[in-house]
Amino acid sequence: MSSSLLEARRELSLANRIVANEGVIDAFGHVSMRHPDNPGRYLLSRSRAPELVAPEDFIEYDIESQPIRDPGVGQYSERVIHGEIYKARPDVNAVVPSHSPAVIPFGVTRVPMRPVMHTGSFLYVGVPVWEIREAGGATDMLVRNGTLGKSLAETLGDKPVVLMRGHGDVVVGPTVQRAVIRAVYTEVNARLQTIALGLGGPIEYISDEEGALRDKAGGDESRAWDLWKTKALGK
């Protein structure tokens, strides 16, 4: 195993624990990353709650979401979400589908998610809602096959976040750290937007121009990562 792969497994395991510890993900979400040495593959845990995932739990998948080797363990039934997004989005190297709780109400109402604070400013490009019924009619609500996964990736388009109606959201990023930070602040922003809407009256959202400037400036991701790592491991 290459040293970059070893390091990737450690970081991805930590990412799984962080999103759980920060309240974004429950027992049923996942965090994947594109393979560091082979962009046609990705790493995803065997079927296990993210909070319990360890470096040795990751399975290598090809872009069609087939395991490279027989894993001999349970696999996530919705792994096509990851494969289809990696296929459609060469710029994406990490994918986080979850049941992010504050986000779910925005997926079942017609209220659009918009950024109320600068840490959520990446949402300024808009947050599309994917309606699984339009892609597959009545289903058991899981993204179980490539057709559904492809449709979801199309609704995501070039955005950082897509909501899944009655299910949760998928957050993507160019790196694992960026995707995790986006996932956390998508949840935080949803919570605060809900409160602001409850207060009523016009809301001054982050403008497109502000969002674009914030995106361009980048952020000090390590500050959050170091804190969340300490907290996730200290539990």
Binding mask 142-161 for its own copies (x = CB under 8 A): x-------------------
CB of 101 to its own copies, least distance (A): 6
Which residues carry out catalysis? 78
Q: Which of 111, 126, 134, 147 binds its own copies (CB under 8 A)?
A: 111
Where b means 16+ CB within 10 Å and e means fewer, 128-140 reads bbbebeebeeeee
Asked whether position 117 contacts its own copies by CB under 8 A, the answer is yes
51 or 88: CB nearest its own copies: 51
- Where in 82-101 is the site for its own copies (CB under 8 A)? 99, 101
Q: Do 132 and 154 meet the contact criterion of CB atoms below 8 Å apart? A: no
Residue 199's contacts (CB-CB under 8 Å, 6 or more residues apart) are: none
Tokens representing residue 14 in the block: 């930590």
Query: Can you tell me the distance from the alpha carbon of 232 to that of 64, in angstroms, rounded to the nearest whole number?
Result: 32
d(CA 106, CA 111): 6
Using the contact rule CB under 8 A, the part of the chain among 5-13, 58-66, 89-97, 135-143 near its own copies is: 135-143
Pairing between β-strand 168-173 and β-strand 94-98 as defined by DSSP bridges = antiparallel
Q: Given the complex with its own copies, which of 33 and 188 has the nearer CB atom?
A: 188
Radius of gyration of the chain from its Cα atoms, rounded to whole angstroms: 17
Show Cβ contacts of residue 119 under 8 Å, excluding neighbours closer than 6 positions: 185, 188, 189, 219
**Contact pattern for its own copies over residues 32 through 61, marking x by CB under 8 A:** ---------------xxx-xx---------
Residues of this chain that bind its own copies (CB under 8 A): 26-28, 47-49, 51-52, 74, 77, 99, 101-102, 104-106, 108-111, 115-119, 121, 131, 133, 138-142, 165-168, 188, 191-192, 194-207, 209-210, 213-214, 216-217, 220, 223-224, 226-228, 230-231
